[in-house]
Each structure stands twice: as structure tokens, then as C-alpha cells.
Structure 1
Amino acid sequence: MISASDLTPAELAALLHFHADAGIDWLLEDEPVDRFAEFEAMRAARRGARAAQPRTEAPAAAARPQTERRQAAKPAASPAAAPPRATPAIPDEQAVEQARFAAESARSLSELKTALEAFNGCNLKNSARSTIFASGTPEGRIMVIGPMPSADDDREGAPFAGRAGQLLDRMLAAIGLKRDEILLTNVIPWRPPGNRAPSPPEIEICRPFIERQIALAEPKAVLLLGNITARHFFGSTETIHGLRGEWREISVLGRTIPAIASLHPQELLTAPVNKRLAWSDLLIFKNYISAEILG
């Protein structure tokens, strides 16, 4: 095992950053703690507490006739609970048509947000806390799109929240961008239960809304983050490792837009070794927007 005294200050700093990205807040207790002994002591204390409890029986209950005791033992009828309210299921084809009509009716991003919040044709909305719409500004003509809201996004009501969002902020800052200067959004506006991948019907129901967002924002360059996002726009079944780092054109409502895919910040938190790949993609993105947008 390598001792900390054998590492240079730069190596120690890199190691601490690695642990921080992995979610480790502390490394050692101030004093050694025997967790096994703590657990056994806790179990023994619980057994002792149960053994010390006196067993009492109500004498009146034993004196009552057997028939009366049986009747008393019957649980009292509880009032019927009201069934949970749920949005009636809509056939997928009909839901897609309703989503398309609602999206096409919007003439601005604010109108589209209102239409999305009123739309009830996707079952994902029933389990999500928030409807996550685009944040930032379309004036920068740069759009960053992720796959779906995380638990942090759902809780805070904004895209790219929590640790993944903080990492994205640092990634953008490294190429001279800020989140309030661009537009951030997701393909799916509602967090799927348990962070599962959205189903193909769910993606198709949400497709008109994300396409309308892009059409109204009119970006000149799009950064696609994550597997689901890249596959959605590139129409491919390859993984993000096969789709990243190369400019492609995506067609949205008759408009062609240059787009490049990279790894999602959450994937980088899970596997920090992939940060070098993301950095390479960001440099390609920076060079393009510097020449074509920022001028």
C-alpha cells in the first residue's frame, strides 16, 4: 500500500479530487471505531430490553364468556379508503397526437412551457414531482440537452441540478460558457420512477415537446449528453462511446442543426476515468462555437 507520505502535493490533491468526485466526504474517523462490537452491543441491548418487559394479561378478558371474547377479537371495520386519483390511460397513438398538437400550438418557449405543464398524456407525469422545462436563455444560440431529469432535478424543478449539475457548470466554465448564457433542457421532461430508462412509447409522446423547444430556441450548435440523448437524435443503437466526439447534423422540424455528443456528467461521476474523453469532446465543441457563434 502506498503511504500518503510517499505522494507529492500534486498527487495528493489529485487523489482528494478523485475521492470527492466519487462522493466520499471523509476518509477516517478521529479515533478507531470497532463497528462489529458496536453492532453486537446494540443487539444485546435490544434482547435485554425485550426480556425485561413484563407479560401482563387482562384478568377481565379471561373472565368474559368465550363468545364475547371472540366477538371482541374481531377487528373494527375501518372506513373504506378513497381510491387514489390517477390520470386515465390514453392510447399511445392518441397521446402522441395530443402532444404534437399542444407543442405546435405554442408560439414561444413560455407558451410551450405552459402547454407542457398542462399536458397529461404521459404516465411519467403521474409519478414525477416536477415538470422540468428548459432553463437559461436561447439568445446564446447554444443548447445542451440531457436525457431525462434526475432525482435532484425532480426535487429542485430545474435541469442539471445536484452534483451532476455542478460538474456540468465546471465543464462549461472550462470552455468559457455559463449556464445562464445557454439553454439547458432534457429529452424527457419528467423523471421516470427509480431513474429507469424511458420506454419507446414514452419517448415518442415527449418527442414533439423537445423538438418544438429546439425549433423555438433556434440554436446554432447542440451538445447532446448521454446515451439516450445521442441515440434519440442520431437514430442509432450505438453506445455513447461510439457516438461521441464527432459533429453530425440532426434534423428537427425541417431544420438542420450541427450537434455533437459527449458523456453525461453523471457518467463522469460514476467513472472519473472518462473525464479525458469528455474534455476532448468539449474542446471540439469550443473550437466550433468560437468560430461559428462567438466569432
Structure 2
Amino acid sequence: MDPALLHARSALDWLLELGADEAIGEMPVNRYELTAKAAAPAAAAAPLAAPVLARPADPVTVAQELAAEARDLPALAQAMEAFDCELKPGARRFVFADGTAGAPLMVVGEAPGRDEDIQGKPFVGAAGQLLDRMLSAIGRDRADPDPARSAYITNVLPWRPPGNRRPETPEIDRWRPFLRRHVELAAPRVVLVLGNSPAMALLNRAGITQIRGQWAEAVGRPALPSFHPSYLLRNPPAKREAWADLLSLLARLRPPS
């Protein structure tokens, strides 16, 4: 036998003994080179994809869901007090509402101030005392248990902003679903909107000096925007326009003859 063929036959027999009994490719593969690549540092490997983290829930969406689940005013108050809010840690007390639920008049202000934060009721400071006199001028008293002669009072925000500042737009957006549900559950005939923040929350309008006295609709009910009592304390001449608004409100509240 040709020595070259004999050598090739011996090499083949040796490969068979080693277990290389199948030819996969036409070109030889250096397995030692593959082993070296596998042992290369992990830094040389392709970077792993970053883990996909769950996005935090949108607070407005959460507020909408919680507000929709509230079937009465106590349930709404409980949901609002438990709702996560950056203002909550800096406030003393949760301020929900005052007056008589079921009254034909619902008054919506901006946010609690220092006195409201202490007592846990809306409109109890100097602005609240002026509001009481304004309501008394049209035959309303929040302390009257008879809904026909009372009023129901709340704010856009249930927590006091730092330094008694005005509510910011993201805060109004966050609490708007609760406020709208509050109006639905209180079911007033008329809503008195005091100041820019409730006008933004309920009417999607700002510029209270331009829109005051103009009847609109909030949550399917007649709504009258007017000056906030704190503005009237700083600008007494504006009480003339506020009185005109109260007379318009009184006319709307009177039962049809």
C-alpha cells in the first residue's frame, strides 16, 4: 500500500478512536481557539440589555379610579385622605368639607390656610368669616342643619400648601377627579366657584377678574365664578362686583314660582 495512503488510514483510525466519527464542515475547525474565546473576560461579551422597570402609576389616573369607586361622601373622604400627595407630610390636618351635605348651594375655594389646617375645616380664618357674612346676606348659614338654608363648602386641595401659596397646576390636575366626584355626590343645584384654582379645576378657565359673574357649567350644574374672599380682603372695592354676583346667585337659588 502506498505509504501516504497508509498514513492517512492510520490518522483516520486514530480520529475514530477519539470519537470524531462525523464530518460536519468542509473546513477544519480549531476547537482550541473556540475555548479561548469562551474564556475571554466578560467585558468583551455583548452587553446585557437593561432590565425593563415598571413605570410608576400616573397620579391623575389613580385619582380618577379612586374617585370613581367612592359611592358616598365618607368613602370619598377616606379615599382622598389616603391618596398620596406631596403636600400631605407638611400639613397638620386633612380638610374635607363643612356645612350641610345636600344643600342646594356648594361653595368651592382653593386650599386650606393656616387656620383651616389647624381646625380641619375649610374657610374658618378671616376669609372664612367674610364668606359667612356673604352667605348670611343671601339667607345661608353653613351651621344650619336644614339643607334648604345651609351651604356645603369645600376646597380644590384638602391639604395646606406650604406658606399658604396658591395651588399649582399639577396639584389642581391631581385633585380634579376628586373634586368633580365631590360635586356629584354632594349633588348641589348651584356651585359657587371662588377664585382661579377652582375655576381651573371645574371650568377649565382662569382669569377670575374676566370671567366672574358669568354663569357656566360644572359637572352638569350651573356654576358661578366669583372673587375669593381673601381677594376681597385685599381689594375692598371689588366687593361691589362680588355683591352683584351674590344677587345673581340668589336669583338662581330661588325655587321657581
Moved more, 227-236 or 182-191: 227-236
Query: Is residue 2:253 matched to residue 1:285?
Result: no
CA–CA separation in structure 1 for the residues paired with 2:82 and 2:158: 12
| Percent identical | 47
Query: Quick one: which of 117, 128, 134 aligns to 1:171?
Result: 134
Deviation at 1:172, TM superposition (A): 0.4
SS in 1 for 2:58: helix
Shift of 1:130: 1.4
Provide the residue aligned with 1:247 in structure 2: 215
Query: Does structure 1 residue 157 correspond to structure 2 residue 133?
Result: no
- Tell me the number of residue pairs that the alignment of Structure 1 and Structure 2 aligns: 197
Q: CA deviation at 1:198?
A: 2.1
CA contact (8 A) 1:146 1:225 kept: yes
1:153, 1:186 → 2: CA distance?
11
Structure 1 spans left out of the alignment, 5+ residues: 1-89
CA change 1:98–1:157 in 2 (3 A) is same
Name which of 276, 287, 291 aligns with 2:240: 276
> Counterpart of 1:77?
none
Please list, as runs of the form range in 1=range in 2, the aligned pairs for 1:56-71 lying within 5 A after superposition.
none
- Name the aligned partner's letter for residue 221 of structure 1: V
The one-character-per-residue Cα deviations of 1:63-96 (angstroms, maximum 9, x if unpaired) are xxxxxxxxxxxxxxxxxxxxxxxxxxx95x5222
Letter of the 2:119 partner, please give it: E
What's the counterpart of residue 103 of structure 2?
140
Q: Following the alignment from structure 1 to structure 2, what is the Cα–Cα distance between the partners of residues 199 and 246? A: 24
User: For 1:285 and 1:198, how far apart are their aligned partners in 2?
Assistant: 26
Q: In 1, are the aligned partners of 2:173 and 2:201 still within 8 Å (CA)?
A: no
Local SS of the residue matching 2:193? strand
Provide the rounded CA distance (Å) in 2 between the counterparts of 1:276 and 1:138: 29
**CA deviation after TM superposition for structure 1 residue 189, in Å:** 1.0
Aligned to 2:174: 205
**Contact 1:268/1:274 (<8 A) preserved:** yes
Q: What is the CA deviation profile of residues 4-31 of structure 1, one whole-angstrom value per residue up to 9, with x for unaligned ones?
A: xxxxxxxxxxxxxxxxxxxxxxxxxxxx
Q: Which structure's CA Rg is the greater one?
A: 2
Structure 2 unaligned blocks of 5 or more = 1-54, 144-149
Question: How far is 1:231 from its partner?
Answer: 2.8
Give the Cα separation in 2 of the matches to 1:195 and 1:159: 13
Residue 224 (structure 1) aligned with residue 186 (structure 2): no
- The 4+ residue runs of structure 1 with deviation greater than 4 A are none
Distance of 1:199 and 1:140 partners within structure 2: 29
- Pick the structure with more helix per residue: 1
TM-score (norm 2): 0.72
Question: What TM-score comes out, normalization by structure 1 length?
Answer: 0.64
Q: Write the distance in 2 (CA, Å) between the matches of 1:273 and 1:94.
A: 43
Distance 1:164 1:202 in 2: 22
RMSD: 1.6
| Residues 66-215 of structure 1: pairs in structure 2 closer than 5 A | 91=56, 94-119=58-83, 121-180=84-143, 181-215=150-184
- CA distance in structure 2 between the aligned counterparts of 1:211 and 1:235, rounded to whole angstroms: 12
